[in-house]
């Protein structure tokens, strides 16, 4: 009886192990791969050097990314703010001379860049 039990246990383990290796990879038709779009190299220039008067909001978003904050004044002009203040969480960043850069972009009523301002500040 013990011998039958051991043989059936080993057979069960072997069947379970073999069934875990099953794959349907060969049964699926291979998906057609789309050609990869050419990626533009990242622009590492400072934010204020990537801006120009007359750019649209989409062009600004492509050039420098999504704003950290937005605002609109009573004249219908929109303002976007950019900041790298998250660097403050890097230990000893400002104590070792690190600077924080803030940029404010102002758009006219038509959604084109009217002006921008930037400043850089350090803790010490």
pLDDT, tens only, 4-43? 766 666 666 666 666 655 555 655 555 555 555 667 777 7
Least-confidence region, from 28-32, 86-90, 96-100: 28-32
Domain boundaries, the chain: 47-122
Residue 18 has what pLDDT? 60
Per-residue pLDDT tens for 47-74? 878 899 999 999 999 999 999 999 999 9
Give the end-to-end CA distance of the chain in Å, rounded to a whole number: 84
Give the number of other CB atoms < 10 A from CB of residue 28: 8
Question: For residues 66 and 81, is the Cβ–Cβ distance under 8 A?
Answer: no
* Rounded Cα distance, 48 and 64, in Å: 9
Query: Looking at residue 27, what DSSP letter applies?
Result: G
- Does the predicted TM-score (pTM) go above 0.85? no
- CATH code of 47-122, in short, is 3.30.1450.10
Query: Looking at residue 23, what DSSP letter applies?
Result: -
């Amino acid at each position: 009886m013990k011998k039958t039990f051991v043989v059936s246990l080993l057979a069960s383990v072997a069947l379970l192990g073999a069934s875990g290796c099953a794959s349907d990879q060969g049964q699926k038709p291979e998906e057609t791969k789309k050609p990869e779009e050419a990626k533009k190299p990242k622009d590492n220039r400072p934010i204020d050097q990537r801006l120009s008067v007359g750019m649209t909001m989409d062009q600004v978003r492509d050039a420098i990314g999504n704003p950290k904050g937005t605002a609109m004044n009573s004249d219908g002009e929109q303002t976007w703010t950019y900041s790298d203040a998250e660097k403050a969480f890097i230990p000893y960043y400002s104590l070792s001379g690190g600077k924080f850069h803030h940029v404010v972009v102002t758009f006219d009523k038509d959604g084109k860049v009217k002006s921008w301002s930037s400043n850089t500040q350090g803790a010490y």
